[in-house]
Each structure stands twice: as structure tokens, then as C-alpha cells.
Structure 1
Amino acid sequence: MNQGERFVKMAVEMGFSRAACVPVSEISFDASLRRYCEMNLCGSYGNNYACPPDCGTPEQMEAKVRKYQNALVVQSITKVNDIRDDTETKKVKKEHNRKMSELVRELRQAAPGGTAVMAGPCALCNECKKKKGEKCIFPEGISSCLSAYCIKAQELAEKCGMVYWCPEGEAAFFSIYLWSEEGI
């Protein structure tokens, strides 16, 4: 079993609905997706160091991803009463990101130097220090989301054999762990 297969197995054992590995070269980007961050529906634009405009331009974000070779894509599919209920959806996303943070701790032991792309803004602190104009206290640990990276999530899901649009009563969230194999 190669490293990617081990990582997929770890993710599934940790409770993710699906997991798959793809070469980073197969991840597609679209800088026009940045407009969704700029709409600031989540309230994090300019208020979180991991979010635009502080995280970098779309080109800089793509370059951050391209420095790695491999991507472990994980998905959580969770039953919800109403996908439009922001309180319920945020709770489900928070649980997805909690599991992903646990997985990332294990993956960093096996593949040091990797980085995570989360489902939503960095939440290492209860409130990002950016809001108060203070320095980030976890600069090595912050993780931007797929939107901040301008990753074409639907295309990536399809490449990984995952559903992007769930049926009524379900919500799907995605995260990625990027790493390079030693000695390659």
C-alpha cells in the first residue's frame, strides 16, 4: 500500500464519507471564483488572516498548491434538516473541520511539511486576531478554504468520484491535504 492509499484508509477510518488522492497537477483553478469571497457571505473577507485579501491573490494561492505533488481529498456527507439553515450548516461544517484537523495532525507525522485546505475559514482561534489588528498567533497552522484558493471544487469532486450536489436533506463538505513525497 502506497502513502496515498494509506492516507485514504486513514480518512475513511476517521469517519469521512469518501476520500481519494489525485496529483496536484490535476487540480483546476479559476481566479473568477474569488468573487464569492469578495461577496463576504461568510463574514470573513478582510476579517481572517486565512481569507482574502490577506491570504494572497488567486495566483499566489494557486502557486502555494502547485508546490506540492499530491492531494488527499476528503468529503463528509451529513444529513441535515434544511441546507439553507445557516446555524445547522455551520455546525455540520465545524464538525467536518474538527475531524479534518485531527486527520491533519496524523498526516503531518507521516508527511511532514504538508498543508491543509479546509471547508471554510481558519478557526484555530475563537476570533481571528485580524479583527483586532493583532498578529496571527498560529501562522504555521492557519488554513485557507477551497474558495480562497479558487479551486474548482465541483470538478475536483468529479475527478475523485465524489458527489458535489447532494440530494435534499444532505450537505457535503470537502477538504484537502497537500503533500510531497520525500526523495522525489
Structure 2
Amino acid sequence: MSEYLRMDKERLEKDLKRFREKAIELGAEDAVPIKTKQIVIRNWVRLKCKYGCSMYGKRLTCPPYSPTPDEMRKIINEYEIALLVKFGPCVECGFEKEVNIHKVIYELERYIFFSGYYAAFGLACGPCNLCPECNIKEGYCLKPHMARPSMEACGIDVFATVRNAGFELKVLKSYDERPVCFGLVLVT
């Protein structure tokens, strides 16, 4: 069991409320704490990256460089609570004009970390957009302190996870529709 779940549940609840407020302050529409057992990881998810995303292999936070579904399952098993962060509707996940999800998730992870949750780790939405061009040819990230993989890059079934948390998410039928995007911060 996580060290923080052994602590006062009242403190944890207060902190989670504070983290939700911070997420909204940073530009999220909503944020809800979830049990990590609600996070669904499926091997097929990365097929959507490999056969459907033009950024596959072009960002150091994307597959094949991101954690595999098996690695992510092991990581998720070390946590019990996460914060699911809702953004949207967005212009395009990974390339937002209104709110940069990658920056918000980084700032939120940092805030949670400095609140004493030293294992906090964020997962964004879509390909990393922190640099105009990824430094992939040199083989190292220019912003490793900020860059985080997306949930889907790690095999997380975002649709199933979001539905487990009580949100609705639908498949878009037209490029004219704007997606609702989600990020995740593993808390404790």
C-alpha cells in the first residue's frame, strides 16, 4: 500500500480537492481523482499510434520510445490514486491552440510533487509539442523535465478509463468536430 494512503484520509481528500482546483486554474475543464484500478491498459491501443498517427516514432515521448503496455501495467500497479484531467473541447490533442495540455500536465505534476507526493507523474494527450521540432535525431530530449508521454502512447485505453471515471466520450465522426481530451497524473 502506498505511503500516502496510510496517512490521514482527510488530508488526502483535501489535497485532491486542491489538485483539482489547481488543474482548473491551469486551464483544465475538470479533474477527478480515480483509483488506478479504473485505468484500463490494452495492448491494441498502440496500434492506433503505429498505424494511424503521423507522429509515430517522431517524438521521444511516442512509441516505440514510450513505456510499453506491460511496463505501464507494472507502473500503474505501484500507485493507487490518480487525477484524471479533462480538457476540451480541444483543437487537436497534442497541438492545442487554447490550452497546451502538455504544459498543464507538467505544471500540475510539479505542483503535486511539491505538495509532498514525490511519486507524482503526468501523462498527457497526443504527441509532445513542447519543442517546435523533436530532437529525435540526436537521441535525447531537450526538455526531459517537462516532456511526458501520452496515456495512449503507453497503452492506456482512454475511452474505457474515462468511462470508468464517469465521463462520456464519443468517437468523432468528422474532422469538423472538436475532441475532448484527457490527461492523467499518477498521484500516490
Q: Smaller-chain TM-score range?
A: 0.7 to 0.9
The answer for unaligned runs of 5 or more in structure 1 is 81-85
Give the aligned CA root-mean-square deviation in angstroms.
Answer: 2.7
**Aligned match of 1:99:** 104
Q: Are 2:72 and 1:39 equivalent residues in the alignment?
A: no
Distance 1:73 1:122 in 2: 18
Q: CA deviation at 1:138?
A: 3.6
**Distance change >3 Å, CA 63–CA 77, structure 1 → 2:** same
Could you report, residue by residue, the CA deviation over 1:61-115 in whole angstroms, capped at 9, with x for unpaired residues? 22233322211001112276xxxxx6x9833486333333332332221122311
1:61–1:148 Cα contact (<8 Å) kept? no
* Greater strand fraction, Structure 1 or Structure 2: 1
Could you report, residue by residue, the CA deviation over 1:96-149 in whole angstroms, capped at 9, with x for unpaired residues? 33333332332221122311100112233332211x233223444431111111
Number of residue equivalences: 172
**Aligned match of 1:19:** 31
TM-score, normalisation: structure 1:
0.78
The answer for unaligned runs of 5 or more in structure 2 is 1-12
**Aligned match of 2:15:** 3
Could you report, residue by residue, the CA deviation over 1:146-184 in whole angstroms, capped at 9, with x for unpaired residues? 11111121122122222212888542010000121xxxx
**Aligned match of 1:123:** 129
* Greater helix fraction, Structure 1 or Structure 2: 1
**Distance change >3 Å, CA 7–CA 44, structure 1 → 2:** same
Amino acid paired to 1:173 = C
Amino acid paired to 2:28 = F
Aligned residue for 1:22, secondary structure, equals strand
Amino acid paired to 2:22 = M
**Distance change >3 Å, CA 75–CA 92, structure 1 → 2:** farther
**Aligned match of 1:54:** 65
% identical equivalent positions: 23
Distance 1:66 1:122 in 2: 25
